[in-house]
Amino acid sequence: MNASAKSQFAKDEIIREGDGNQIIEAVVFTDQAYIKRQTQVPVQSGLNRLCVELQAFHVDHDSVQAVVHGRGEIISVQYKEIPVKDAPQKNVKKIEDEIKALKRQRRSLEKENEVLDKQKRFLDSVIDFGEKEVPKKIKTSFPKTDDLKTMLSFLEKNYKNFAKENERLSRRIEDMDDELAVLKMRLKQIRQPRQKFRKIIEVLFLGQEAHEIDLIVSYVVQNAFWEPVYKVDTPLDLSRLDLTMFACIRQQTGENWDNITLSVSNAIPLTGAALPNLDTWRVGFPKPGAPVAATMMVGAQAVIKKRSKAYDGDEDDLMAGGLSEPEAPFTQAEEIKLPLAFEYLLPQRTDIKSGGDETLLPLYTKEMTREFYIYTAPAIDPLCYLVCRAAPDSTLLAGRLNIYFGGRFVGSAALTEKQAGEDLLINLGAERGVKVRRSKMTDKVTETFFGLVDRMSVARTLVYRITVENLKDEAVRVRLTDRIPVSETDRIQIKGVETDPAPTEKEYLKREGVMLWDFEIPAKGTKAIEVRFGIKHPKNIKDILNN
């Protein structure tokens, strides 16, 4: 800006990163973050131009806002990029300096290693000289025993020292190579191969008098996201089910978040302001034209740019092993219910560096309403599984679920976001105390199919028996699923379906032919289920039933 342009401002200042200009708050969404910066700056009476420097790589220009606590008026707030010669990101410069320092240290270590090798070669030459034939005119008398002992002791001690020092230097060089690799990877992640800019938020403030103001700017950045990770734990006596939700946070924004107030939100950023508009559903013969895949691609390319609008706004039992204190719980975040989402405010101030590292922070632990039972589907799996059915709430999102039974890790599963009418089912592992067997008792070929003779077809009657045995000393509840074949053509017919006992639910989960039995087996007891049906199919079709 030239001198004539500057003269219109009572104060014109760039407030650089770190010079009282720092990030104080971040709200992390699933694909971006809302950032607040704060600084204190003196202003003059009249028009002040205050430029708050940013380090972020990708800023949503439309999201920029400013709040001033002071006597005067805000004239305008806007995001700008000013071309500069060198990269303004302090993170880049800091990492480049660290790489240079490590390379200098590595060269020093290599020189130490070279000196060590020369000293070792000198000792080797002394030994080699003793093994060579010496001319008579320079021969001397054989060394005395004490002199030999002193020489051997000297050689042994120095060789040990050389070996120890060589190992230390080699290990340190390897460590430095690992550190250099990490720093180079981090530098590659945060360096921008494009024109260099100084990024600022420009605030024009009309001050009533000379005084100091508090200036807060906010903006939305990309390359920051979080995803939930869950830990579910139930004791061996199945007396409770505790679910702990963690936030796994990663950010590569170009800015370090140091000692900030951190929140995570499950709000879904808008993809345009228009509501979905349902059109008429027309049915007819397909018309020649662009393939469906091509039509979908055109629609995908027309999606409006994403924007974001952020809101302002014990176990009583002692541990085994003789420990006298109860287990310490995870810290709890404050849950804030917003009109459209949930937000979790972390109780402690947090540091998260820009890079590829993950930060895992606990949000809450709650006891879930639960129901335990044995589940089995013997038509496809001969095992029985201990399952916990829980009632999820609106705070659960899709994420990784780590399962602990009796304090021991038993496996991981994918937790999908709850749909209407769905329960949260947690597989706690195979239950060896309950056995199931499914056997084909009858596969009888007949000449007629319910009184009808068809020489081109085969009529068969099949009977399957399912036996469930409880080997445990207490009663168990079992939910068992089985199925009958469903025809997709009139050339294959299924008739005469009989079950004993009748299923608790037919068309289980709205799946045709799938049935559910829900029953209790007493201790050391058994339960038998029979499924009978008839099938007619053409003689030339083999292996029509695959189970």
Predicted local distance difference test score (pLDDT) of residue 99:
81
Predicted local distance difference test score (pLDDT) of residue 384:
92
What is the C-alpha to C-alpha distance for residues 7 and 49, in angstroms, rounded to an integer? 11
Residue 270 has pLDDT above 80, yes or no: no
Residue 368's beta-bridge partner residues? none
Q: What are phi and psi of 118, to 5 degrees?
A: -65, -40
In this prediction, residues 240-249 reach a mean pLDDT of 90
> How do residues 368-412 score in pLDDT, each as one tens digit?
888 899 999 999 999 999 988 887 777 778 888 888 888 888 888
Residue 37 near residue 216, CB atoms below 8 Å? yes
Q: Count the neighbouring beta carbons within 10 Å of the beta carbon of residue 276.
A: 4
Residue 429 near residue 386, CB atoms below 8 Å? yes
Cα–Cα distances in Å, from 505 out to 427, 482, 513, 516, 517?
Answer: 22, 11, 11, 5, 7
Predicted local distance difference test score (pLDDT) of residue 172:
83
Residue 221's beta-bridge partner residues? 33, 59
Least confident of 39-43, 132-136, 387-391, 443-447: 132-136
Tokens of 332: 């709890």
Structure confidence at residue 317 as a pLDDT band (50, 70, 90): very low
H/E segment holding residue 434:
strand 434-446
Highest mean pLDDT among 27-36, 352-361, 384-393: 27-36
In this prediction, residues 36-52 reach a mean pLDDT of 94
| 3-state SS, residue 265 | strand
Residue 313 has pLDDT above 50, yes or no: no
In this prediction, residues 161-186 reach a mean pLDDT of 77
What is the C-alpha to C-alpha distance for residues 546 and 528, in angstroms, rounded to an integer? 22
> How do residues 512-539 score in pLDDT, each as one tens digit?
899 999 999 999 999 999 999 988 888 7
> How do residues 321-355 score in pLDDT, each as one tens digit?
455 567 787 788 888 888 777 888 999 899 998 87
Predicted local distance difference test score (pLDDT) of residue 143:
53
Q: Count the neighbouring beta carbons within 10 Å of the beta carbon of residue 531.
A: 21
Residue 388's beta-bridge partner residues? 372, 426
Residue 90 near residue 98, CB atoms below 8 Å? no
> How do residues 485-505 score in pLDDT, each as one tens digit?
888 888 888 888 999 999 999
Q: What are phi and psi of 543, to 5 degrees?
A: 50, 45
What is the C-alpha to C-alpha distance for residues 178 and 451, in angstroms, rounded to an integer? 81
Tokens of 347: 């109780």
Structure confidence at residue 474 as a pLDDT band (50, 70, 90): very high
What is the C-alpha to C-alpha distance for residues 56 and 359, in angstroms, rounded to an integer? 19
Residue 220 near residue 310, CB atoms below 8 Å? yes
Record the pTM: 0.65
Highest mean pLDDT among 50-59, 330-339, 418-427, 456-465: 50-59
Q: Which DSSP state fits 77?
A: E
| Location of structure tokens 């849950």 | 335
Three-state secondary structure readout of 448-498: EECCEECCCEEEEEEEEEEEEEECCCCCEEEEEEEECCCCCCCCCEEEEEE
What is the C-alpha to C-alpha distance for residues 11 and 537, in angstroms, rounded to an integer? 91
Structure confidence at residue 246 as a pLDDT band (50, 70, 90): very high
Instruction: Evaluate the omega torsion of the peptide bond into residue 276 and state whether it is cis, within 30 degrees of 0.
Output: no
Q: Which DSSP state fits 21?
A: B
What is the C-alpha to C-alpha distance for residues 432 and 386, in angstroms, rounded to an integer? 9
Greater confidence (142 vs 315) lies with 142
